[in-house]
Amino acid sequence: MTSSIMQGARILSLGSAVPDLRLSNKDISKMVDTSDEWIVTRTGIKERRILTDANKSVVDLAVLASKKALNKISMDPKNIDLIILATSSPNDLFGSASQIQDRIGAKNAAAFDLTAACTGFVLAVITASQFIQNGSYSTILVIGADTLSKWTDWTDRSTCILFGDGAGAAIIQACSKENNGIIGFQINTDGRQSKDLSIGYQESTKADKSTWPSNNNGQFKYIQMNGKEVYKFAISKVPNSILSCINKLNIKIEEIDWIVLHQANQRILDTVAEKLNISSNKMITNLNRYGNTSAASIPLALSEAVELNQIMYNDFIAISGFGAGLTWGTIIIQWKC
């Protein structure tokens, strides 16, 4: 890959943000027929953060995470060329990225949303790296942010135990080819299983078909998930995605220092580690505290690991996202900070 790029791309800074309100398993067991024991055993989740303020949205979390990432490296937001917001819960269906551009003062940046649910951050980093490595842009802010609590059916115990709200931001910048940190990727989609995880739009049954066009007052439904199928998909596709990616780069699995998977279920993380024959110590996890934060889960986990000084210069990191679409993908990063 290095030979075909005009310049390198590396993650320079990360930031994250979660709402203050903690919703514990015990709290949820007062709402639906479940228990702390069931949730911990089946998912590893102990609590999640929920955005309760009706006046706040995914944009507020994304702005906070972005400002933290900018402040860490004292970067002037006017230096940002492009903002990519990976979210499936925008506060405007036409896109929310432009609101972030305005609120952080990144007036020179183009901005757009990218929708790919829990694979969103991986796809946004890959997209950003292409813009940088082909020489088009120098500095890109990539954000993974979701507030799926707003799309959760809080009477459905099979989904409401899983999701939490959050945002993670990464500043990706051009560098020399030798310092290139985003060294490989692989992405896939299998639309045949799109119904296994969706927030579908439903036409109103009351719509008056005799007058057209008319406002039919349809609406998006809650999250619908076939948990078993998504689970089977994740544990079968993710290990292969990582292996095919590192094989192309001639990196052996023993050389991978860290794995950051979309934080969906501790059992998925454990099974992937087992299938790859790697120590669970290499698997970065924080889902016990945040649940599944969709596009935010990977940057939240990565940001915390960097803050804890777990990740060292030149470490190899395999990052995989998976979810609705169904989509999945891996990025291999060599840490260059």
Tell me which residues are annotated as active site. Answer: 118, 262, 292
Choice between 13 and 87, CB closer to ligand UT7 = 87
Indicate whether 22 belongs to the interface with ligand UT7 (CB under 6 A).
no
Indicate whether 222 belongs to the interface with ligand UT7 (CB under 6 A).
no
Choice between 95 and 227, CB closer to ligand UT7 = 227
Select from 16-24, 35-43, 68-76, 100-108 the region that touches ligand UT7 (CB under 6 A).
35-43
Choice between 61 and 272, CB closer to ligand UT7 = 272
**How many CB atoms are located within 10 Å of the residue 145 CB?**
37
CA distance 80 to 57: 23
CA distance 309 to 145: 23
Choice between 234 and 260, CB closer to ligand UT7 = 234
Q: Are 156 and 222 within 8 A, CB to CB?
A: yes
Q: Which residues are CB-neighbours of 131 under 8 A, at least 6 positions away?
A: 81, 82, 137, 140
Q: In one letter, which amino acid is 215?
A: N
DSSP conformational letter for 309: T
DSSP conformational letter for 292: B
- Alpha-carbon distances, residue 83 vs 61, 63, 229, 286, 309 (angstroms): 15, 11, 34, 26, 27
Ramachandran angles phi, psi of 66, nearest 5°: -65, -45
Place of tokens 């579908």: 200
Choice between 2 and 155, CB closer to ligand UT7 = 155
- Least separation in angstroms between residue 246's CB and ligand UT7 is 22
- Least separation in angstroms between residue 286's CB and ligand UT7 is 15
- Least separation in angstroms between residue 47's CB and ligand UT7 is 15
CA distance 121 to 123: 5
Report residue 185 as tokens: 């990727």
Contact set for ligand UT7, span 55-114 (CB under 6 A): none
Indicate whether 157 belongs to the interface with ligand UT7 (CB under 6 A).
yes
- Least separation in angstroms between residue 67's CB and ligand UT7 is 27
Select from 87-95, 230-238, 243-251, 304-312 the region that touches ligand UT7 (CB under 6 A).
230-238
Indicate whether 118 belongs to the interface with ligand UT7 (CB under 6 A).
yes
CA distance 51 to 19: 5
Which of 130, 158, 224, 310 is in the footprint of ligand UT7 by CB under 6 A? 158
Indicate whether 151 belongs to the interface with ligand UT7 (CB under 6 A).
no
Select from 38-46, 52-60, 66-74, 274-282 the region that touches ligand UT7 (CB under 6 A).
38-46
Contact set for ligand UT7, span 244-273 (CB under 6 A): 264-265, 268
**H or E segment at 125?**
helix 120-133
- Least separation in angstroms between residue 182's CB and ligand UT7 is 23
Per-residue contact track with ligand UT7, 275 to 314, x per CB under 6 A? -----------------x----------------------
- Least separation in angstroms between residue 97's CB and ligand UT7 is 22
Report residue 155 as tokens: 């009477």
Of 131, 51, 134, the C-alpha closest to 87 is 51
- Alpha-carbon distances, residue 70 vs 84, 104, 218, 291 (angstroms): 15, 9, 40, 26
Q: Can you give the binding site for ligand UT7, defined by CB under 6 A?
A: 34, 38, 42-43, 118, 157-158, 161, 197, 227-228, 230-231, 234, 264-265, 268, 292, 323
